[in-house]
Amino acid sequence: DPMPEGVPEPETLTSAKQLMEPFAEKSSYAKYYAEKSPFDIRHVTRTIMLGADKKSASNDSGKQMVWMKADGKVDVPQVMLEPVLRRAGLSIATPGISFASIDHSMWWYRDIDINQWHLYVQDTPTAAHGRGLGQAKVYTQDGELVACMTQEAMIRVPEEALKK
């Protein structure tokens, strides 16, 4: 599959670290992204780190795109829960939310240099009954498809959070 066209270059986008800095003292999640994340992440689509993406949810789409590369030592697993939450109109910051990876697979087709920018095109074909399936295609900056991934996750949201 070809890389999507018209994607802005990563250097033109704001890093997740910069987005999270103002919230680092209020949220352990924001603090992690602002101070400890091993990746430089640049959202092409609106981030759901700071709030739900109601427009995406109303279009029944979990699609998102982010550029990312290593920003220091890589020593934590990454998950593909954002598209699932995006499709449901939720945010990682939803009060009381809990999630866990159930199963995942990765297919590497070419060698990659994690110190270079890669476009991570994520989507979710379904999310229902406390579970969601995330999919991703990973492209080099010059458009070569280097990997595909899937992840199934369990997501639990308190009833009161769903009513807001």
What residues pair up with 136 in beta bridges, in sequence order? 122, 149
- Over 80: is that where the pLDDT of 73 sits? no
- Over 90: is that where the pLDDT of 11 sits? yes
The whole-number pLDDT of residue 77 equals: 46
Instruction: Identify whether the C-beta of residue 67 lies closer than 8 Å to the C-beta of residue 13.
Output: yes
Burial (0-12, 13-18, 19+ Cβ within 10 Å), 138 = buried
The whole-number pLDDT of residue 80 equals: 63
The whole-number pLDDT of residue 3 equals: 92
The whole-number pLDDT of residue 76 equals: 47
The residue ranking higher by pLDDT, 50 or 24, is 24
**pLDDT classification of 164: cutoffs 50, 70, 90:** low
Q: Please give the model's pTM, rounded to 2 decimal places.
A: 0.75
What residues pair up with 153 in beta bridges, in sequence order? 101, 132
Give tens-digit pLDDT for 115-154. 899 999 998 888 888 888 989 999 999 999 999 999 998 8
